[in-house]
Amino acid sequence: MGLNEVNAREHERFMREALAEARLAYAQGEVPVGAVVVVNGEIIARAHNRRETLKDASAHAEMLALREAAQRLADWRLNEATVYVTMEPCPMCAGALVQFRVGRVVYGVDDPKAGAAGSVVELLREPRFNHQVEVIRGVLAEESRALLQEFFRALRAGDGRPCRSE
Protein backbone atom coordinates (compact mmCIF):
# COMPACT_ATOMS: atom_id res chain seq x y z
CA MET A 1 0.00 0.00 0.00
CA GLY A 2 1.49 3.33 -1.10
CA LEU A 3 1.68 6.54 0.89
CA ASN A 4 -1.06 8.18 -1.19
CA GLU A 5 -3.40 5.26 -0.47
CA VAL A 6 -2.67 5.56 3.26
CA ASN A 7 -3.36 9.31 3.13
CA ALA A 8 -6.58 8.72 1.20
CA ARG A 9 -7.78 6.21 3.79
CA GLU A 10 -6.94 8.59 6.63
CA HIS A 11 -8.76 11.46 4.91
CA GLU A 12 -11.81 9.25 4.39
CA ARG A 13 -11.74 8.07 8.01
CA PHE A 14 -11.80 11.61 9.37
CA MET A 15 -14.30 12.79 6.75
CA ARG A 16 -16.64 10.03 7.95
CA GLU A 17 -16.42 11.61 11.41
CA ALA A 18 -17.31 14.99 9.90
CA LEU A 19 -20.23 13.32 8.11
CA ALA A 20 -21.43 11.93 11.45
CA GLU A 21 -21.49 15.52 12.74
CA ALA A 22 -23.39 16.60 9.62
CA ARG A 23 -26.01 13.95 10.33
CA LEU A 24 -26.43 15.38 13.84
CA ALA A 25 -27.05 18.80 12.28
CA TYR A 26 -29.64 17.27 9.94
CA ALA A 27 -31.43 15.63 12.87
CA GLN A 28 -31.62 19.03 14.59
CA GLY A 29 -33.05 20.78 11.53
CA GLU A 30 -29.76 22.46 10.72
CA VAL A 31 -28.07 22.53 7.31
CA PRO A 32 -26.09 19.26 7.46
CA VAL A 33 -22.48 20.37 7.56
CA GLY A 34 -20.03 18.83 10.00
CA ALA A 35 -16.38 19.39 10.85
CA VAL A 36 -13.61 17.79 12.87
CA VAL A 37 -10.18 19.18 13.75
CA VAL A 38 -7.32 16.70 13.73
CA VAL A 39 -3.84 17.13 15.22
CA ASN A 40 -1.28 14.32 15.12
CA GLY A 41 -3.87 11.80 13.99
CA GLU A 42 -6.28 12.59 16.85
CA ILE A 43 -9.61 14.40 16.69
CA ILE A 44 -9.34 17.29 19.13
CA ALA A 45 -12.60 19.05 18.25
CA ARG A 46 -15.83 18.31 16.42
CA ALA A 47 -18.90 20.35 15.60
CA HIS A 48 -21.85 20.72 13.28
CA ASN A 49 -23.91 23.67 12.11
CA ARG A 50 -25.92 25.20 14.96
CA ARG A 51 -26.95 28.49 13.39
CA GLU A 52 -30.68 27.98 13.94
CA THR A 53 -30.28 26.41 17.37
CA LEU A 54 -28.04 29.18 18.70
CA LYS A 55 -29.66 31.98 16.65
CA ASP A 56 -26.12 32.88 15.60
CA ALA A 57 -25.19 33.40 11.95
CA SER A 58 -21.55 32.58 12.75
CA ALA A 59 -22.35 29.16 14.25
CA HIS A 60 -21.07 27.22 11.25
CA ALA A 61 -19.45 23.83 11.86
CA GLU A 62 -15.96 25.11 11.08
CA MET A 63 -16.25 28.13 13.37
CA LEU A 64 -17.46 26.07 16.31
CA ALA A 65 -14.82 23.37 15.79
CA LEU A 66 -12.01 25.93 15.48
CA ARG A 67 -13.03 27.63 18.72
CA GLU A 68 -13.18 24.29 20.53
CA ALA A 69 -9.76 23.25 19.17
CA ALA A 70 -8.14 26.52 20.22
CA GLN A 71 -9.56 26.17 23.73
CA ARG A 72 -8.42 22.58 23.98
CA LEU A 73 -4.88 23.47 22.87
CA ALA A 74 -4.88 26.78 24.77
CA ASP A 75 -3.56 28.41 21.60
CA TRP A 76 -5.28 30.15 18.72
CA ARG A 77 -2.53 29.07 16.33
CA LEU A 78 -3.57 25.77 14.79
CA ASN A 79 -0.65 25.37 12.36
CA GLU A 80 -0.47 21.61 12.87
CA ALA A 81 -4.20 21.09 12.48
CA THR A 82 -6.16 19.62 9.61
CA VAL A 83 -9.81 20.60 9.47
CA TYR A 84 -12.16 18.12 7.80
CA VAL A 85 -15.45 19.65 6.72
CA THR A 86 -18.20 18.15 4.62
CA MET A 87 -18.76 21.25 2.47
CA GLU A 88 -16.39 23.83 1.04
CA PRO A 89 -15.90 26.67 3.54
CA CYS A 90 -17.77 29.93 3.00
CA PRO A 91 -15.89 33.27 3.07
CA MET A 92 -16.44 33.70 6.83
CA CYS A 93 -15.11 30.23 7.63
CA ALA A 94 -12.24 30.58 5.17
CA GLY A 95 -11.24 33.79 6.91
CA ALA A 96 -11.31 32.01 10.26
CA LEU A 97 -9.20 29.14 8.88
CA VAL A 98 -6.59 31.69 7.78
CA GLN A 99 -6.76 33.63 11.07
CA PHE A 100 -6.38 30.44 13.13
CA ARG A 101 -3.35 29.59 10.95
CA VAL A 102 -4.78 26.14 10.09
CA GLY A 103 -2.32 24.05 8.12
CA ARG A 104 -4.75 22.14 5.93
CA VAL A 105 -8.44 21.88 5.14
CA VAL A 106 -9.97 18.78 3.59
CA TYR A 107 -13.52 19.14 2.38
CA GLY A 108 -16.18 17.06 0.72
CA VAL A 109 -18.49 18.82 -1.70
CA ASP A 110 -17.90 22.11 -3.54
CA ASP A 111 -20.22 25.02 -2.74
CA PRO A 112 -21.01 26.72 -6.07
CA LYS A 113 -22.91 29.53 -4.30
CA ALA A 114 -20.52 30.59 -1.54
CA GLY A 115 -17.38 28.45 -1.75
CA ALA A 116 -14.23 30.30 -0.70
CA ALA A 117 -11.71 27.55 -1.49
CA GLY A 118 -11.88 28.07 -5.23
CA SER A 119 -15.46 27.42 -6.33
CA VAL A 120 -16.55 31.07 -6.15
CA VAL A 121 -13.57 32.85 -4.63
CA GLU A 122 -10.15 31.68 -3.46
CA LEU A 123 -9.38 32.92 0.04
CA LEU A 124 -7.48 30.00 1.55
CA ARG A 125 -4.51 30.32 -0.80
CA GLU A 126 -4.61 34.07 -1.37
CA PRO A 127 -0.93 35.05 -1.81
CA ARG A 128 -1.46 38.54 -0.36
CA PHE A 129 -2.50 37.09 3.00
CA ASN A 130 0.12 36.35 5.65
CA HIS A 131 -0.97 32.68 5.79
CA GLN A 132 -2.16 30.19 3.19
CA VAL A 133 -4.01 26.96 3.91
CA GLU A 134 -3.37 23.76 1.98
CA VAL A 135 -6.61 22.52 0.41
CA ILE A 136 -7.68 18.98 -0.47
CA ARG A 137 -11.11 18.81 -2.08
CA GLY A 138 -13.60 16.14 -2.99
CA VAL A 139 -13.11 13.61 -0.17
CA LEU A 140 -16.35 11.60 0.12
CA ALA A 141 -18.01 14.34 -1.91
CA GLU A 142 -20.91 12.14 -3.02
CA GLU A 143 -21.85 11.30 0.57
CA SER A 144 -21.81 14.98 1.52
CA ARG A 145 -23.77 15.97 -1.58
CA ALA A 146 -26.40 13.28 -0.98
CA LEU A 147 -26.96 14.40 2.62
CA LEU A 148 -27.37 18.04 1.58
CA GLN A 149 -29.72 17.12 -1.27
CA GLU A 150 -31.83 14.96 1.04
CA PHE A 151 -32.06 17.79 3.58
CA PHE A 152 -33.15 20.42 1.06
CA ARG A 153 -35.55 17.99 -0.64
CA ALA A 154 -37.20 17.46 2.76
CA LEU A 155 -37.43 21.23 3.27
CA ARG A 156 -39.12 21.70 -0.09
CA ALA A 157 -41.53 18.87 0.75
CA GLY A 158 -42.68 20.93 3.73
CA ASP A 159 -41.75 18.66 6.61
CA GLY A 160 -41.98 21.54 9.08
CA ARG A 161 -38.35 22.62 9.20
CA PRO A 162 -37.80 26.34 8.64
CA CYS A 163 -36.22 27.25 5.32
CA ARG A 164 -32.70 28.56 5.61
CA SER A 165 -29.66 28.94 3.39
CA GLU A 166 -26.04 28.04 4.04
Q: Please write the tens of the pLDDT for every residue from 118-144.
A: 999 999 999 999 999 999 999 999 999
User: Which residue type is seen at 58?
Assistant: S
Q: Using one digit for the tens of pLDDT, what is the confidence trace for 19-46?
A: 999 999 999 999 999 999 999 999 999 9
Tens of pLDDT, residue by residue over 66-75, are 999 999 999 9
Question: What domains lie within the chain, and their CATH numbers?
Answer: 3-108+147-156 (3.40.140.10)
Over the stretch 88-123, which tens digit does the pLDDT of each residue have?
999 999 999 999 999 999 999 999 999 999 999 999
Indicate if 88 belongs to the active site. Answer: no
DSSP state letters, 86-117? EE---HHHHHHHHHTT-SEEEEEE--TTT-TB
Q: Which of 21, 30, 62, 143 is catalytic?
A: 62
List CB contacts of 28: < 8 A, sequence separation 6 or more. 48, 50, 52, 53
